[in-house]
Amino acid sequence: MTQPHDEPSAHEALLQFLYQAPIGLVRTSIDGAVDMLNPMSAQLLLPLAPQAGLDNLFDVLAPLLPDLRQRVANFNGASGVVIDSQRLPSRAGARQPVLAVSLLKLDAQRLIATITDVTQDVRREQQGLARQLRVAERTDSLTGLPNRAALRDHLAQLLAAADEGFALLFVNCDRFRQVNDNLGQAAGDTLLRLMSDRLRAELRSRDTLADMPHSVDRLGRVGGDEFVVAIDDLLRPDDAHRVAQRLVDALAQPYGIGQHQVHCSASIGLVLWAQCPHSDQPDPHHADAVLRDASTATAEAKRAGGGRYRIFEPAMRERAARGAALEAELRVALDQGQLYVVYQPVVDLLPGDTPRVDPCAGVEALVRWQHPVRGVVPPLDFIAVAEECGLIGALGDFVLATASRQFVRWQRTLGPLAPRRLAVNLSRAQLAQPGWVASVSQLLQHSEMAPHQLQLEITESLAAQDEQVQTTLHALKALGLQLALDDFGTGYSSLSSLHLLPVDTVKIDRSFVSQAATEAHHRVLIEATVRVAHSLNMGTVAEGIETAAQCAVVQALGCDKGQGYLFSRPLTAEALVEWLVAQHPDAAPAA
């Protein structure tokens, strides 16, 4: 039975469907000549070739797909996909749809292409990428936590909406720089990730923060080794103390980093709601003020020894401002010659029934600051500032250069009365300076100072550091100078590990010497240190000797040298000459 005349045939229906399809369809010969195309393909392709027309698909697409003809020629199959939905590049300045082309080889003579408008897909991709970029701009790439910008905005909102349940905790790692310097940046990054994981875990614990449903969203990393926890729904303001202590305890546990067990505590500054500026609307400036106050409290916790928290008090803000001012003035002092060096004698403790000393053993060089307005600034006030702001290396280099020149002048003018050795403190910053060992070598050559007359003093914690520090210390010893372990007994070393340190002298800390005459266990510690040091061919110096009784004890226990106010306070170069001459009234300086 034949179909009714008014009904299209299946072939006609297919052609009608293809003609009205929302994608472009083009059939060509194997060389690209167009023999059939639907209206959508013409609409999409005409803007690409307004002059050339649509006679050949290869010619139309040549500006955007110049290798299309060659790709068809290189296709070896009898049929198959030549191009699978390849997006055409957009022409600069052109306002036209973004097109994608697929090309199918039907047989040896025919090709069929589909042309698709993918403009909306591109826009969606661009919008998604923009969203990802916005998230990335507000996310710390190392830990995945919100960064400072994100936390600042969130904090501004919390301050506008919070009540007495609000608290801000500023967390700072106590020894991150040492870990980074000693184990490398990769280990430092691992430590920061582990710290962030512990903070997340503690903030998820209902035992820690009671019912705080979104606490993890209020944790962020705001600096290198600085994290912030913002809380706005504590049941009682006093609960903030419990939170801070729990975080201190959690972060103090050892960290496994590769083959190392790293102990690295954290200090926390705590700001409570009553100490915060308040407004009904979010104010980023308020957020900045609270972050500064919390950071200031963290610095106070560090100065108190670290591994603890401190609550912010307005007086801390004043001290921080003074510290910032002192830093600026210290930079000026270095440039304008306000710093000078004083020298404290180190005496030989001679054996015998009656305590005797030789005052020419050496001197320790110490820096002082003559401020034009403040007068003499105590070292405790500005040394800590120099360490915090990165000036300690320049300070140490100044002392070393100044004292070396002065020491050589004494050798030339005092003859046998001149000190036999110069001791200068060495900082971590100096050890980290590239080429610093070579600089010391040049200094010795230019000053004509004999290397064995220079003694660089390092703390226990610095001497016992990583392989890089050890390598630098051995390089210094290779120059022929001496190394001394300062303040022994207060750091990380022990008598059992003393043989591992590349030092020539052990300086016993004043905290032991001060009680040597009254406390038996301090005498035992001093005696053990002296015995072990001597067994390793190391000399010993007792620091902080202030009384004749203390001197007699350390001398009886075998200490080689002594230093302290019993013999002399630190003296200027001129005053030291007078002191040395006074110790030898029958001798006279060299001409």
Handedness of CA 171, 177, 183, 184 (dihedral sign): positive
The burial class, CB within 10 Å (0-12 / 13-18 / 19+), for 94 is: exposed
Q: What is the mean pLDDT of the chain?
A: 83
What's the N-to-C CA distance of the chain in angstroms?
A: 139
Give mean pLDDT, residues 216-232: 83
| 160 vs 297 pLDDT, higher one | 297
Question: Is pLDDT of 238 > 70?
Answer: yes
| Residue 197 confidence (pLDDT) | 92
**Beta carbons of 495 and 514 less than 8 angstroms apart:** no
| Residue 134 confidence (pLDDT) | 65
| Residue 519 confidence (pLDDT) | 86
Q: Where are the domains of the chain?
A: 10-120, 141-312, 324-583
**Tens-place pLDDT, residues 416-467:** 899 999 999 988 778 877 788 999 999 999 989 999 999 999 876 666 555 6
- CATH assignment of 10-120? 3.30.450.20
State the DSSP string of 219-286: EEE-SSSEEEEEE---SSTTHHHHHHHHHHHHHTS-EEETTEEE---EEEEEEEGGGS---SS--HHH
**Tens-place pLDDT, residues 379-403:** 888 887 787 777 888 888 999 999 9
**Tens-place pLDDT, residues 330-361:** 899 888 889 999 999 999 998 765 556 777 88
**Beta carbons of 159 and 226 less than 8 angstroms apart:** no
Give mean pLDDT, residues 236-248: 84
Tell me the pLDDT band of 54, cut-offs 50, 70 and 90: confident
Interatomic CA distance for residues 445 and 415, integer angstroms: 20
| 241 vs 90 pLDDT, higher one | 241
| Residue 352 confidence (pLDDT) | 65
Q: Which fold has domain 324-583?
A: TIM Barrel (3.20.20)
Token duo for residue 510: 């004043």
The burial class, CB within 10 Å (0-12 / 13-18 / 19+), for 427 is: buried
Question: Is pLDDT of 511 > 70?
Answer: yes
**Which class is domain 141-312?**
alpha beta
Cβ atoms within 10 Å of 274's Cβ, excluding its own = 9
Interatomic CA distance for residues 227 and 173, integer angstroms: 9
What's the pTM value of the predicted model, to 2 decimals? 0.58
Least confident of 46-55, 300-309, 485-494, 495-504: 485-494
The burial class, CB within 10 Å (0-12 / 13-18 / 19+), for 103 is: buried
| Residue 412 confidence (pLDDT) | 92
Q: Which among 309-323, 381-395, 477-491, 517-531 has the top mean pLDDT?
A: 517-531
State the DSSP string of 148-194: HHHHHHHHHHHHHH--TT-EEEEEEESSHHHHHHHH-HHHHHHHHHH
Strands 505-508 and 539-542 turn out to be parallel
Give mean pLDDT, residues 312-318: 82
